[in-house]
Structure 1
C-alpha cells in the first residue's frame, strides 16, 4: 500500500461535488485527508475503485468484464515477449496506487514503470509512470476521463492509450495531441516504449475457442 508522509489536508468550496458512478446523482462531499482516505477507502474490496483527488473521494465502478480482461492480458503478454527479447525493460503494472500530483491519487488500469523507478519505489519514493493505459467502459463518464487526462498531462505522463472496446478504437494521447486509431492502424507507446506496438485489430481481437 502506498504511504505518503506529511500529506496535507485539503479544503474545497461548498460548490464542489464528488464524482459518482454512472446513473447516480453527484452528492455534496466533505473533503477528507489522505490519512483518512488511506485508512477508510484503500483497503476496501468491493465493486468500486476509489481515488483521492484534491481532497475528494472519487468512486467509480470496477466493471472490467472478461473481454476487457482478455485485452489487458494480451497487452501484458506482448510486454513479457518484449522483455524476453530484451526489447523492453521495467514492468507493466495493474491498478497501482500512484500520486500523479501532490493531491491527486489515481489507480490507472495499466501503467509502465522503468527499472530505475522500481528501485526508487522499493525505497519508498512515489514515482509517476511515463506510459498509462485506460480501458474505457460504458459506465465511464467523459468528464471524468478528461479530468484524468489533465491530471496525467500535468504530472508529465508522456503517452496515454485510451482503449474503447465497444467502438474497437484506441485514442493515443501525446501531450495535448490526441489521435484516433482503428482497424489495421498501428499504435505505439513511443517515445517511452518504441517496441510496444500493435494494430488496433490485434488489441481487440477475440480468441477463437478451441473445439
Structure 2
C-alpha cells in the first residue's frame, strides 16, 4: 500500500519594503501603537509622555494666535508624515496647512512644513540626525528638536544649519510661520 505524504506549506510573508506594504502590515496588526517606517525597518514610536504635555499645550496655544492658524492650518500631534515610498515618520507635533488637511481627505500623502520632535532619552544622536535628514528630504522647511531636560530648542533650517535657542532667546518659526514665536523660558515655565 502506498502512503501519500502531503506537506502543508505556510506561505511566509516577507517584511514590508515600501510604505504601502508597511501600511498593509500595520492594518493587519490592529494596534493603536505608532510605528515609523524607514527603508524596510519598522520602528515603534512611543507616544508623547504626560510630562511632555505642557510643551504641546504651550506650542498649540501659541500657534493658535498666528495668521496661518486663522487661515485653517492646525498644529497636530502624532500625525503621519510621508517622506517617500520607503519612509514614513510621525513627528510629535507638526503644522499642517488647510490645503494639506483637505488633500489628506482625498488620499494625498505629504510632509508638513514644520515638524517638531521632543527628544527622548532613548534617541541617539544618529537617530536625531537621520530623522532630521528624512524630514528635509521630504521638503520640510523647519525642524525643531526640543530638549526638555536642557531646556533648549535645536532649530534646523537644513540638515546642516542648526541654531540653538535657550533662556531668554526668542525662538521663531519664520519663514514658515513668521508670527509664531516665543521666549524659550516661557515654554519651560508653562
Deviation at 1:203, TM superposition (A): 1.5
Distance 1:106 1:114 in 2: 18
From the two aligned structures, give the one with the greater helix fraction.
2
The 1-side partners of 2:21 and 2:140 are apart by: 27
- Normalised to the residue count of structure 1, the TM-score between the two structures is 0.74
User: 2:55 aligned with 1:71, yes or no?
Assistant: yes
Q: Say whether residues 1:148 and 2:154 are aligned partners.
A: no
Report 1:27-176 matches (<5 A).
31-33=15-17, 34-41=19-26, 43-46=30-33, 49-62=34-47, 64-82=48-66, 86=70, 89-175=72-158, 176=160
Do the aligned partners of 1:158 and 1:192 also contact (CA within 8 Å) in 2?
Answer: yes
| Deviations 1:57-106 (CA, angstroms, capped at 9, x unpaired) | 122433x33221111111111122336984x6411111112211221111
SS of structure 2 residue aligned to 1:126: coil
Equivalent residue pairs, number: 173
Inter-partner Cα distance in structure 1 for 2:185 and 2:45: 28
How many Å apart are 1:108 and its aligned residue? 0.6
SS in 2 for 1:41: helix
What is the TM-score of this pair, normalised by structure 2?
Answer: 0.82
Structure 1's unaligned 5+ residue stretches are 1-29, 207-211
Q: Is structure 2 residue 183 aligned with structure 1 residue 182? A: no
CA 1:89–1:73 in 2, change beyond 3 Å: closer, same or farther? same
C-alpha distance after superposition, 1:17-46 (max 9, x if no partner): xxxxxxxxxxxxx74244553244364235
Unaligned runs of 5+ in 2: 1-13
CA root-mean-square deviation: 2.1
Q: Which structure has the greater CA radius of gyration? A: 2
CA apart distance, 1:173: 0.5
Distance 1:141 1:107 in 2: 17
